[in-house]
Amino acid sequence: MISVENLKKSYGQKIALNGIDFNIERGEIFSLLGPNGAGKTSTIKILTGQLIPDEGIVKIMGRDVFSSRNFLRPRMGVMPEENNLYERLTVRNNLKFFCRLYEADFENMEKYLEAVGMLSEIDTPVKKLSRGMKQKILLVRSLLHEPEVLFLDEPTSGLDPASAASIHRLLEKLNEEGLTILLTSHDMEEVDRLSDRIAFLHDGSISALDHPTSLKLNHAEGQVDVLVRINGDLQEKRMDINSDSAAEDISRWIKEGKLASIHSCEPSLAEIFVDITGSELK
């Protein structure tokens, strides 16, 4: 669905993208992860035709992004990080304007507003909505014309956990129906839950690219946390699962009915990023 080859972009002396390469398959959720200034937003703006790269080849659905804008524009949905809604208009009129622009069905407004729990606010002026509510309207707007590929830049920024969960369920449903999604986010739980693959972007380059589970397993140290009930008290122990003594102890505790829980100690995505790049996600 998306092909990026040797993509470069600089702003004066600052290198934003230093020759990155990646492909996104149809129906995949692909996440770009990185600290502020890593080049995530620049990548999305180039992929959506808003920014001209210095070098590189960018194709969506096998077509060059810049020479095939008229073909690709109605097939792409974009939710920007910044709010660019018309504050004085109601939610309905904001979305109607977009429907007319993209020749989308007006009925899609209520369908997607209901999906994100915002149908009751359809006649509310945008300026009266909270930041999180505006985020939901931006997402709905990006879906009205039912695109084939969706670009999301920090989609749940400012949302409470319940609202973010409703967004995640909608995105998962749309993805199951075949929608391809490119996501940037600072929410590690969101990235872990949604992503088929993750690319770590650092200093304009991709430092790692893999499935989130594979990334965590590849950086795990073979440790497990074990919760054992001994003499009526719960005790937590960290063990090397590959050692003979760990296997013997765990087997014995199971037979004695003392094992309360056991779970592996893979690092979080944020910890992996720090390990790979030496930088924290911000």
The CATH number for 191's domain is: 3.40.50.300
The pLDDT tens digits for 247-263 are: 788 888 788 887 777 76
Say which DSSP state 242 is in. T
d(CA 180, CA 201): 20
CB 216 within 8 A of CB 228: no
Question: Does residue 31 form part of some domain?
Answer: yes
C-alpha dist (Å) from residue 198 to 30, 38, 97, 216:
6, 15, 35, 11
Do 121 and 250 reside in the same domain of the chain? no
CB 119 within 8 A of CB 86: no
Query: What's the average model confidence in pLDDT over 68-90?
Result: 91
d(CA 97, CA 247): 64
Question: Does residue 55 form part of some domain?
Answer: yes
pLDDT of the residue at 265: 67
How many domains does one find in the chain? 2
Question: Does residue 157 form part of some domain?
Answer: yes
Res 282 pLDDT > 60: no
CB 50 within 8 A of CB 82: no
Query: What's the average model confidence in pLDDT over 240-247?
Result: 77
Question: Does residue 270 form part of some domain?
Answer: no
Of the candidate ranges 2-11, 125-134, 268-277, the one whose mean pLDDT is the lowest = 268-277
CB 41 within 8 A of CB 81: yes
Res 63 pLDDT > 90: yes
Residue numbers of the domain that contains 31: 2-216
Do 259 and 151 reside in the same domain of the chain? no
Do 110 and 234 reside in the same domain of the chain? no
CB 123 within 8 A of CB 109: no
d(CA 110, CA 97): 14
Q: How do 14-24 and 2-11 pair as beta strands?
A: antiparallel
Q: How confident is the model at residue 98 (pLDDT cuts 50, 70, 90)?
A: very high
pLDDT of the residue at 113: 95
